Structure 1
């Protein structure tokens, strides 16, 4: 591990604990949680969501759904505090839990009249396996900062504190429940 990562606190962080300057990550996470007020998709689930008005450009999803500025979307977040309790070195065991979360999210989208669900993650392959539409984000100073923040969060919450390797470039993920195909009559 490089010296700068030790100084930042990577070697003394993990399982929801932060050392050194990484404590700023927990403070920032608490602030954004207070600001966005995400709610669990279901009790015990790993997905949180908050209903937000879409402020970005019009988005055409692969299933034909159009998300326009002002439309209500579910902004997705991971419930980071639960990850150390379910310690594993791989994201794959969490896929079953996340599939159950998506079953509940399907109902929430309908109940809350949300057009789609959206998030930003460094776990693009896991998102793809869960049925998310994955879109690359442009290399810009903003997304570089987001990547750095996600890197720090990974170091804080990783069960073995091995979040010191840089994460992949973040991606934008969109999700809509699969459309039901009506059965033919007669």
Structure 2
């Protein structure tokens, strides 16, 4: 007997107790309260009721307030005119099962059947498919998490026991006002026919609600439908993300300036600071360039750096990642004669052998005369990849999705062109000789501020 009881208890824990505990306590997969602004949401369960729902709708219309109704499919079938009125007067209609049974007492198939049929009933009445769902008593089973693909599950942050008549309107109003907070989702009932409820309980709810609405409005609260409440949260989150992004970008640019100052990195053209450079010693593996020149450890190089602030501005004005890529590669092409001029200015003292950088360009660079080589495996390759992918996510709205969808494509490589080839193709003060169109393979092309050690 004891073992059977423990077995049943274990099954119930897995099937309903733990899932309900998780959503009620931690809000996993459900919406319980707004996070932005003072707007609060009135929600009503268990209706429609032929006696009380019309009175409630009359009150909401007088006060010009829109609410959310989680209706039972069986009652929607019996009182379609009330469902239609809810919709026509601007309220949101959601689902509260076909009958008021807890999901813990039904199989997943039964829950799905109740919901699907209720959705069909409501859709036939108002012409829209409801997607907001509140399980009766806020109790779910383990398989209800699968419903999140089709529904937005809504719980509450304020519940006041308005299904009982004891205490009358004063109890309900007192509890509503004492628990009222920004973003509250309030659960009330416009029917007293549910198991455990008093039939006349909605009378006191309506009286309390009438006074509560006036008090809440005087305190500066707005009343929103659930979809409006959630939309406000989403918009606010986007603004916060934008603010965070601007802060990150600002810090990133400050860090760039610190690095540039520390490494004495200067603009190629102070009047058009698109590229920066420094002359340094190459520390990487031997690299055979396109024209047969050998770049070896210890050779002097002019190391290129793309101005990330200009890159961010270009990204903000680009239509897409591909558009950004085209802009960047043409910028490189147009700047190469000036880069060669800078090499000529520096080379008599430095004996520069090549122009070098690290980039995410995998195609097209060879048409400009550059040689590409993979970074040798090690900590530097890992750090470079992290740096460039982070930069990709920061500078462009599509960067995050691009980094996720094609991570294998976003592999930084070493890029180099010998001074001899640079002189041949891009004479200082001249025009670009090679006019072959370049087709970029990937959206972000950026140069890192270090050569491999």
Q: Does the 8 Å CA contact 1:132/1:173 hold for their aligned counterparts?
A: yes
1:34 and 2:261 aligned:
yes
Q: What secondary structure is seen at the aligned counterpart in 1 of 2:246?
A: coil
Aligned residue pairs total 167
What CA distance in whole angstroms lies between the structure 2 residues aligned with 1:138 and 1:59?
Answer: 11
What CA distance in whole angstroms lies between the structure 1 residues aligned with 2:326 and 2:275?
Answer: 15
Bigger relative contact order (CA 8 A; separation at least 6): 1
Q: Structure 2, unaligned stretches of length 5 or more?
A: 1-239, 426-453
Which of 290, 312, 317 in structure 2 is aligned with 1:62? 290
Q: What secondary structure is seen at the aligned counterpart in 1 of 2:399?
A: coil
Which of 330, 346, 349 in structure 2 is aligned with 1:96? 330
1:64–1:13 CA distance, 2 compared to 1 (3 A): farther
Deviation at 1:73, TM superposition (A): 0.5
CA offset digits 1:78-126 (Å, max 9, x no partner): 1111123332232102333221211111122222112111111122325
Which of 135, 138, 144 in structure 1 is aligned with 2:373? 135
What CA distance in whole angstroms lies between the structure 1 residues aligned with 2:242 and 2:398?
Answer: 9
Q: Does the 8 Å CA contact 1:40/1:46 hold for their aligned counterparts?
A: yes
Deviation at 1:50, TM superposition (A): 0.7
Name 1:172's counterpart in structure 2. 414
Larger radius of gyration: 2
Q: What secondary structure is seen at the aligned counterpart in 2 of 1:85?
A: helix
What CA distance in whole angstroms lies between the structure 1 residues aligned with 2:273 and 2:257?
Answer: 19
1:162 and 2:412 aligned:
no
Q: Does the 8 Å CA contact 1:13/1:156 hold for their aligned counterparts?
A: no
Deviation at 1:170, TM superposition (A): 0.8
1:74 and 2:302 aligned:
yes
Q: What secondary structure is seen at the aligned counterpart in 2 of 1:91?
A: helix
Q: Does the 8 Å CA contact 2:302/2:355 hold for their aligned counterparts?
A: yes
Q: Structure 1, unaligned stretches of length 5 or more?
A: 1-10, 182-186
1:40–1:169 CA distance, 2 compared to 1 (3 A): same
Deviates more, 1:24-33 or 1:70-79: 24-33
Deviation at 1:61, TM superposition (A): 1.7
Structure showing the higher helix proportion among its residues: 2
Q: C-alpha root-mean-square deviation of aligned residues, in Å?
A: 3.0
Deviates more, 1:123-132 or 1:43-52: 123-132
Name 2:246's counterpart in structure 1. 17
Deviates more, 1:58-67 or 1:79-88: 58-67
